[in-house]
Chains A and B, each alone.
Chain A
Amino acid sequence: MPRDFAWIHPEPWGIHVVPADCWIDPARPVACALVTHGHADHARGGHGETFATPETLAIMKLRYATSQGARPAPYHESVTLPGSVRATWIPAGHVLGSAQILLEHAGERVIVTGDFKRRADPTCPPFEVTPCDVLITEATFGLPVFRHPPVAHEIAKLTRALALQPERCVLVGAYALGKAQRLIAELRAAGHDQTIWLHGAMEAMCRLYENFGIDLGSLKLVSDAPSREALAGHIVLAPPSALNDRWSRRLPDPLTAMASGWMRVRQRARQRGVELPLIISDHADWDELTQTVVDVAPRETWITHGREDAMLRWCELNQRKARALAMLGYEEDEDG
């Protein structure tokens, strides 16, 4: 007996849309890729054709310096693929340009969420609940201990730390795509209008966001700071990998912070040498993940990556059909 939804075939390196011979977020180069969003582990280079939102394609062009084979697919504008497959990109609320991909074929609807979150983010349109038969979801924070606090609470923690020790700077580790710009936008919304200083690796992506009309206020490069003292009392943003390397020695006694959902667990923060953990994530937390399954109410839930054990258990407890796909290659650490 053919398996239900056999036209969608998950492999460890990507989800194969069989009749169209397209791959979703493939981890290796393919002839035709459908990409959910611009994070490097989802949007790899070297494909023949790449369908994605214009924002995601711009991010990929910045990273891979080519737009060969780029096929823009704006939100809600369906693309017809070979083999009678229709694909539609729907906002996922994860980062600029991020989308769920709705696939329709032979009267069946399958959604691949990519990475997503349900809370408001000033840098991208919110997740849209879309009915479907199969929900293929991420589960990065698929453990009930992960409940992200309100972002305002965490922003207040950051500005309080800044005010408490004006002779130091707060060095915040934040993923260069998405987290950094959201953090800046949230700080601006909270009334923090000082210059925010950037590690060189952050600059291009911030400019790209600005080109898409997202106002980030005054940003400057640390390398352009007139003196070390000029950074005291300021926020400096750097990619997480730069937190403990030589680069940070140029800063005035930095207090090391990190913005990530992993910061909810003390030992995870300690392992990264973080002194000020900020629980700010671009992924759905446990409540959002489970609520999404409830809201979308699919016939089946498939889990691409993350902590699938607990999600499977939850589905079992709630009488929802589910399976884990054991996808490889999606990083769990940096874009948390």
Chain B
Amino acid sequence: MERFAALLDTLVYTRSRNAKLAALAHYLRETPDPDRGYALAALSDGLDFAAVKSSTIRNLMRERVDPELWTLSRDYVGDSAETASLLWPESGDPASPPTVGEAVAALSAMTRANVMEDLPRLLDRLDAEGRYALLKLATGAMRIGISARLAKTAFAQAFDVALEDVEEHWHGQAPPYTALFDWAARGAPAPETGNLPLFRPFMLAHPLGEDEILDLATYAAEWKWDGIRVQVVRSPGESGLGETRLYSRSGDDISASFPEITEALDIDCVLDGELLVRGDAQGGRDGGAGSFNALQQRLGRKTVSKRLRAEAPAFVRLYDLLQREGEDLRARTWHARRAALETLLPRLDPQHFDLSTLIGVTNFADLARLRETARDAAIEGVMLKHRESPYVAGRKTGLWYKWKRDPLLIDCVLMYAQRGSGKRSSFYSDFTFGCWDGDPDAGAELLPVGKAYFGFTDEELKQLDRHVRTHTVQRFGPVRETDKSLVFEVAFDSVHASRRHKSGLAMRFPRISRIRADKPPHEADRLATLRALVQD
């Protein structure tokens, strides 16, 4: 556990990506199984222990620390696991710290009935760094700025294997990934994946630069729909009868939320597309897609009612075809795959699968003009794909670009602030802002319209933090109400009707684009302005 704890701290404190990769690769090479496999799982997919939840930490601490002191500490540190690791009474004898493997075994064996006795016993064997590592591992929420992709890249680097191969073999393996280490470190054959419907790593797009112009003879253009990017995979499965899975961009299995999609596919293939619900908010009646807001009510459900399925029927607008009846198409060019997709389409259920149409312009200026209209059509922007590009995992320069429409802007007044978590802890960095519900000079009120956590520079963050601390009028636990004297310009992608806010509006991707210290608060925008932008 000490090595893992040291690794975590190195990852936390190291700034350069290469140095992080080197530290992680070094750990993976030098640490025995199964420790390294569990460590890797903790840093990528996360480990799940049924008896240990983040509330477990709170409950453990409640028995040892005054709740008010706990809350003050937690707010300051910004992370429950770290706070607990610092507050935990030193046992004075961390003589035999458990290995990662031992800790995982102990954590797995814990039940709701004994976790409150058994977890302390592990914590007592560790110092503050070790306790932090253990609690992070146990609650499965690392949040130390290491993406699963970075972990996989480090794995590839540690054993000098290709990242694509790592990602390919990764899915279907469970911690501690012994077969994966045997393959990469000892040259054993690649892990057997059988006929399972496994996730394939997505190909992603770079944002198009401000003044970049692409040749449309080389790049194909299509609309960027505002849903969620998904992969639909069907393969014979263990039974041989066929199994279908729906994966989100991060590789999460979201099949249960959208049974109509998995039920509709009866050909073995891997499809890449945008998950949407029926409607006419995006692209008008011809586009036939509802807003992201409409899709949102279907996300994250374990089961779906008939009524919801009927109200917001889901479908996938197809972008690409990765595999067709056992044949891997990923090495082929984009246009070859597109042709294969178009050939396959008539065999797919039209109610649940349609094709993302190409934008038939040959001149970049025309495309720019069309993109301008994306706002009216409520589409997120356009995609540009190199016609000769193979389907490669990740974001490779020069192959795919996304060209989003420009954001909307509105001037809002800062109303409440809360300390951030993670990197921003101990700064007020979560801001709730509002617009006037009428004429402020005639006594109108500010109503909250959204929250923003980013968009500002570190310098601006300090400025905002100072503003909050010196303009607080009231405190509600960790939240401070300010005197509503500061205006900022908020950029956002779209706005929708919502019952969550008193204003009846919810913004999509709001971020602070500028602090308008120059602007008096009564000149901030009114709700009516925002309401006029709703596109549901």
| Chain A residues at the B interface, C-beta cutoff of 8 Å | 143-145, 147, 264-271, 273-277, 307, 309-310, 313-314, 317
| CB pair B13 A267 closer than 8 Å | no
| CB pair A275 B13 closer than 8 Å | yes
Q: What residue of chain B has the Cβ atom nearest to residue A149's Cβ?
A: B128
Given A267-B78, A310-B72, check contact A145 B87 (CB 8 Å).
Answer: yes
Say how far B81's CB is from chain A's closest CB, in angstroms. Answer: 11
| CB pair B76 A145 closer than 8 Å | yes
| CB pair A271 B423 closer than 8 Å | yes
| CB pair A307 B13 closer than 8 Å | no
Say how far A16's CB is from chain B's closest CB, in angstroms. Answer: 24
| CB pair B65 A144 closer than 8 Å | yes
Q: What are some 20 contacts across the A-B interface (CB < 8 A)?
A: A143-B73, A143-B76, A144-B65, A144-B87, A145-B76, A264-B86, A265-B76, A265-B77, A265-B425, A266-B12, A267-B423, A267-B424, A267-B426, A268-B426, A271-B426, A275-B14, A307-B76, A309-B72, A310-B72, A313-B69
Assembly CA distance A317 to B72 (angstroms): 15
Contacts of B82 in A (CB 8 A): 265-266
Contacts of B78 in A (CB 8 A): 267
Cβ of B160 under 8 Å from chain A: no
| CB pair A310 B73 closer than 8 Å | yes
Contacts of B77 in A (CB 8 A): 145, 265, 267
* Contact among B14, B73, B79, B422 for A144, CB-based, below 8 A: B73
Contacts of B79 in A (CB 8 A): 266-267
Assembly CA distance A266 to B77 (angstroms): 8
Say how far B493's CB is from chain A's closest CB, in angstroms. Answer: 29
| CB pair B87 A274 closer than 8 Å | no
| CB pair B73 A145 closer than 8 Å | yes
Contacts of B65 in A (CB 8 A): 144
Contacts of B13 in A (CB 8 A): 266, 269-270, 274-277
Shortest Cβ-Cβ A-B pairs, 3 listed:
A145-B86, A267-B425, A145-B73
Say how far B144's CB is from chain A's closest CB, in angstroms. Answer: 9
Interface size class of B (residues with CB under 8 A): 20 to 34
Q: Which of A264, A269, A270 has the most CB of B within 10 A?
A: A270
Contacts of B12 in A (CB 8 A): 266, 270
Known: A266-B9, A270-B13. 18 other contacts (CB 8 A): A143-B69, A143-B76, A144-B87, A145-B76, A147-B86, A265-B425, A266-B13, A267-B77, A267-B78, A267-B426, A270-B12, A273-B15, A275-B14, A275-B15, A307-B76, A309-B72, A313-B68, A313-B69
Say how far B280's CB is from chain A's closest CB, in angstroms. Answer: 46
- Which B1-39 residues sit within 8 Å CB-CB of chain A? 9, 12-15
| CB pair A267 B66 closer than 8 Å | no
Cβ of B244 under 8 Å from chain A: no
- Which B59-84 residues sit within 8 Å CB-CB of chain A? 65-66, 68-69, 72-73, 76-79, 82-83
Q: What residue of chain A has the Cβ atom nearest to residue B78's Cβ?
A: A267
Assembly CA distance A139 to B12 (angstroms): 28
- What sequence of 0s and 1s flags, for each residue 330-348 of chain B, a beta carbon within 8 Å of any chain A beta carbon? 0000000000000000000
| CB pair A317 B422 closer than 8 Å | no
Say how far A79's CB is from chain B's closest CB, in angstroms. Answer: 37
Q: What residue of chain A has the Cβ atom nearest to residue B461's Cβ?
A: A271
Say how far B48's CB is from chain A's closest CB, in angstroms. Answer: 24
Assembly CA distance A14 to B292 (angstroms): 57
Contacts of B69 in A (CB 8 A): 143-144, 310, 313-314
Contacts of B76 in A (CB 8 A): 143, 145, 265, 307
Given A267-B423, A317-B66, check contact A307 B86 (CB 8 Å).
Answer: no
Say how far A24's CB is from chain B's closest CB, in angstroms. Answer: 24
Given A145-B77, A275-B13, check contact A313 B425 (CB 8 Å).
Answer: no
Assembly CA distance A276 to B77 (angstroms): 18
Assembly CA distance A266 to B427 (angstroms): 14
- Which B340-375 residues sit within 8 Å CB-CB of chain A? none
Contacts of B14 in A (CB 8 A): 275
Contacts of A143 in B (CB 8 A): 69, 72-73, 76
Contacts of B73 in A (CB 8 A): 143-145, 310
Assembly CA distance A273 to B9 (angstroms): 13
Say how far A254's CB is from chain B's closest CB, in angstroms. Answer: 12
Say how far A53's CB is from chain B's closest CB, in angstroms. Answer: 33
Say how far B426's CB is from chain A's closest CB, in angstroms. Answer: 6
Contacts of B66 in A (CB 8 A): 313, 317
Contacts of B72 in A (CB 8 A): 143, 307, 309-310, 313
Assembly CA distance A52 to B3 (angstroms): 49
Contacts of A274 in B (CB 8 A): 13
Assembly CA distance A309 to B66 (angstroms): 13
Say how far A243's CB is from chain B's closest CB, in angstroms. Answer: 12
Q: What residue of chain A has the Cβ atom nearest to residue B86's Cβ?
A: A145
Assembly CA distance A270 to B423 (angstroms): 7
